[in-house]
Chain A
């Protein structure tokens, strides 16, 4: 398209908005290296806030919780979501509106409603039956619930992009149902499964609201820890841990994107 004042204006606006989008994150990263304890000016480069993280037991516990929650929930969601994605694909000729509606439910529900309904449910179950008291387990349950749809949709879209005769070729070439799963389905799905796992992991690390309401007192995750730290008063330490989280999530998300792309290409 020709360059006109209009398109030049658009371009300027674009860069302004990119600055808007990255400024808050950039400031966090910048101040995480600030030698002064200030959010107003940058005094000089220092790693002191990162050093301080290492000595913070609460924070290291939160890190452990975050990783345990992310990995455990992603693994469970991967298994359950893959099964749903496969079922949806195999039976796509049927009327599955109810299933699609059910799968979209966790996606469309506002996370605060999601979180408090789980919390109310878990607390009541604990009080009445002594099960499902708020703990790491209830957090895992809640995370799996919102991860399942994303895994299912990734797996489903991978299947849809596949030549349907491949399934028949595997049957035709003497593969039993178990062999078909092992030698055809799993290898074909592998990139998508990796993508789905990392997406689920990203979602888990990114979540605050649902974790916040389903966690027991001992189960603070990094976002919950940061939340509490902010409420107690802003400290440059938060910048350091936030920077590490931004980095982790960016890496996991890029892995997810790359594998999802590879899954679709082949």
Chain B
């Protein structure tokens, strides 16, 4: 098989069935009582860009290391393509990792670094050379092949690390915060490149990050972890718009959360005031919090038709170019609102404004 697959042999989005990953009941703890993973059940579909998202210490890196085989779970099973690899040594798994520090071998040139995995697998010299040239072209590394790794910039190192992993054509590629050491501009560029690469190859990518924006830009699906437990799994818009609990909501950012004081069918009372939801919360939902995203709040001089209406005073204004953030005081509590910059009039600190919130955007959450 040629690499990367050409459009003819592997249409865009082609997937390898061999690479569905299932994790069931994974547990891991370190030392005495530090719990890293506390019963993780998860299925990662073949060919998907899957992101493990969470704050540091949530267990996402441990999970990735278990996938790579660098860490063994205390309990539970891991299968890749239907094969149980829970205890398989890392060098016997068809899995490759792009490490956070890139871990390029300092004694080898760029070419030798990329060829390392193929050499270890016993791929003949000619084929090795061909595949390294091919991937170098694909990742746009051609000019750097004969350099030493100490002569590379951060972004170049990242590409070499990616090429070194991809050239092995693993069933699954693991990426451990590979962009965190780069500056913002390069980071944005590489996010797009990585996602494009994944789509062209149809390879399963498992990506670890603590940056929710990065996760949303790149991923097909996101798993949000906290304290070694998966809080929610879903497409970026699901996780962002319909978080299942307050942790996920806060972690995804740009939210206002209020404790629910009283709940009567679709009418809900909080410190902010009395609001109407579009549909009643399910009977068994342990709803304790009300979520209102910052960007759904409309500010104006009159409440829009069919909206919840409130009145507030602008306390702070942060101009961010493409959007404007307002800190409002409504009924004595703080409400954050973000408005896209469409050239509308800016409100000044001290202005009194009406706040319109559509019932659909009033979301109940687990506390």
Direct A–B contact in complex, judged by CB atoms less than 8 Å apart = yes
A interface list, Cβ under 8 A from B: 163, 165-166, 168-176, 179, 183-184, 187-188, 190, 266
User: Residue A184 contacts which of B100, B105, B165, B168 (CB distance < 8 angstroms)?
Assistant: B105
Across-interface contacts of A166 in B (CB, < 8 A): 103, 105-106
Q: Are A165 and B105 in contact (CB under 8 A)?
A: no
Q: Are B120 and A173 in contact (CB under 8 A)?
A: yes
Contact with A along B80-118 (1 / 0, CB 8 A): 000000000111100111011101111110000000110
Across-interface contacts of A172 in B (CB, < 8 A): 68-70, 90-91, 95-97, 165
In the bound complex, what is the Cα–Cα distance between A166 and B149 (angstroms)?
A: 13
Q: Are A169 and B91 in contact (CB under 8 A)?
A: no
In the bound complex, what is the Cα–Cα distance between A183 and B122 (angstroms)?
A: 13
Q: Are B99 and A169 in contact (CB under 8 A)?
A: yes
B119 beta carbon closer than 8 Å to chain A? yes
User: Residue B90 contacts which of A165, A168, A179, A266 (CB distance < 8 angstroms)?
Assistant: A168
Instruction: Give chain A nearest CB distance to B93 CB in angstroms.
Output: 9
Q: Which of B138-153 contact A (CB under 8 A)?
A: 150
Q: Are B91 and A175 in contact (CB under 8 A)?
A: yes
Report the number of A-B residue pairs with Cβ-Cβ less than 8 Å.
Answer: 70
Q: Are A174 and B107 in contact (CB under 8 A)?
A: no
In the bound complex, what is the Cα–Cα distance between A123 and B91 (angstroms)?
A: 51
B121 beta carbon closer than 8 Å to chain A? yes
A-B contact pairs, 29 of them (CB 8 A): A163-B101, A163-B103, A165-B99, A165-B101, A165-B103, A166-B103, A166-B106, A168-B68, A168-B90, A168-B103, A169-B104, A170-B105, A170-B116, A171-B69, A171-B90, A172-B69, A172-B90, A172-B96, A173-B120, A173-B164, A173-B168, A174-B117, A175-B91, A175-B116, A176-B120, A179-B120, A183-B120, A187-B107, A188-B106
Across-interface contacts of A168 in B (CB, < 8 A): 68, 70, 90, 97, 99, 103
Across-interface contacts of A184 in B (CB, < 8 A): 105
Q: Which residue of B lies closest to A172 (CB)?
A: B97
User: Residue B91 contacts which of A165, A176, A187, A188 (CB distance < 8 angstroms)?
Assistant: A176
In the bound complex, what is the Cα–Cα distance between A169 and B99 (angstroms)?
A: 8
- Nearest 6 A/B pairs, CB to CB: A173-B117, A169-B103, A165-B103, A171-B90, A174-B120, A175-B120
Instruction: Give chain A nearest CB distance to B71 CB in angstroms.
Output: 10
Across-interface contacts of B105 in A (CB, < 8 A): 166, 169-170, 184, 188
In the bound complex, what is the Cα–Cα distance between A179 and B107 (angstroms)?
A: 15
Q: Which residue of B lies closest to A169 (CB)?
A: B103
In the bound complex, what is the Cα–Cα distance between A174 and B69 (angstroms)?
A: 11
Across-interface contacts of B92 in A (CB, < 8 A): 174
In the bound complex, what is the Cα–Cα distance between A266 and B100 (angstroms)?
A: 19
Q: Are A266 and B107 in contact (CB under 8 A)?
A: yes
In the bound complex, what is the Cα–Cα distance between A176 and B120 (angstroms)?
A: 8
Instruction: Give chain B nearest CB distance to A140 CB in angstroms.
Output: 32
Across-interface contacts of B164 in A (CB, < 8 A): 173
Instruction: Give chain B nearest CB distance to A163 CB in angstroms.
Output: 5
Q: Are A188 and B107 in contact (CB under 8 A)?
A: yes
Across-interface contacts of A173 in B (CB, < 8 A): 91, 96, 116-117, 120, 164-165, 168
In the bound complex, what is the Cα–Cα distance between A15 and B168 (angstroms)?
A: 61
In the bound complex, what is the Cα–Cα distance between A165 and B97 (angstroms)?
A: 11
Across-interface contacts of B101 in A (CB, < 8 A): 163, 165
Q: Are A169 and B106 in contact (CB under 8 A)?
A: no
In the bound complex, what is the Cα–Cα distance between A172 and B103 (angstroms)?
A: 11
In the bound complex, what is the Cα–Cα distance between A84 and B87 (angstroms)?
A: 28
User: Residue B119 contacts which of A163, A171, A183, A188 (CB distance < 8 angstroms)?
Assistant: A183
Across-interface contacts of B107 in A (CB, < 8 A): 187-188, 190, 266
Instruction: Give chain A nearest CB distance to B150 CB in angstroms.
Output: 7
In the bound complex, what is the Cα–Cα distance between A87 and B120 (angstroms)?
A: 24
Q: Which residue of A lies closest to B92 (CB)?
A: A174
Q: Are B91 and A171 in contact (CB under 8 A)?
A: yes
Contact with A along B162-183 (1 / 0, CB 8 A): 0011001000000000000000
